Amino acid sequence: MTKTIFNYKIERKKHLVDATDQVLGRLATKIATLLMGKHKASYTPNVDNGDFVEIINAAKVKITGKKLEQKKFYNHSGYPGGLKTQKMGQKFSSDPGYVIKRTVYRMLPKNKLRESFYKRLTFKK
């Protein structure tokens, strides 16, 4: 016998995550798990039953290795010659939340539910 989960029966909790001295990748996997709802017994891959996640102290996250100097973020305007690169260290110093959001976004499943998961991720100043 299978149990059906309807959208109106989903109970969403709010999780407060402190990023102080946590490694970026490990923190991102925890956040992605909470957003997808994989920590719940009622997890179903095709149903969005994840929770809200709020991150504090995003600037104090630990980035291991030489990623701050070597890893690059790329943006393209769509025009010829419109490729812009920026080192992770520059982007992290200006907006640490962007680095965490981008890491979590790429850990979420690549399907229609990805955007609804991603909308529940917020940062507290």
Q: How far is residue 94's CA from residue 15's CA, in Å, rounded to a whole number? A: 25
Query: Residue 16 is part of which domain span?
Result: 12-64+95-123
* CATH number of the domain within which 41 lies: 3.90.1180.10
What's the predicted TM-score (pTM) here? 0.88
Confirm whether 69 is domain-assigned: no
Please write the tens of the pLDDT for every residue from 48-89: 999 999 999 999 999 999 999 999 999 999 999 999 999 999
Of 66, 48, 55, 67, the closest CA to residue 27 belongs to 55
3-state secondary structure of 12: coil
Strand order, beta sheet including 121-123? 14-18, 52-56, 121-123
Residue 76 lies in a domain: no
SS3 assignment, position 2: coil
User: How many domains in the chain?
Assistant: 1
Q: What is the pLDDT of residues 26-46, one digit of tens each?
A: 999 999 999 999 999 888 899
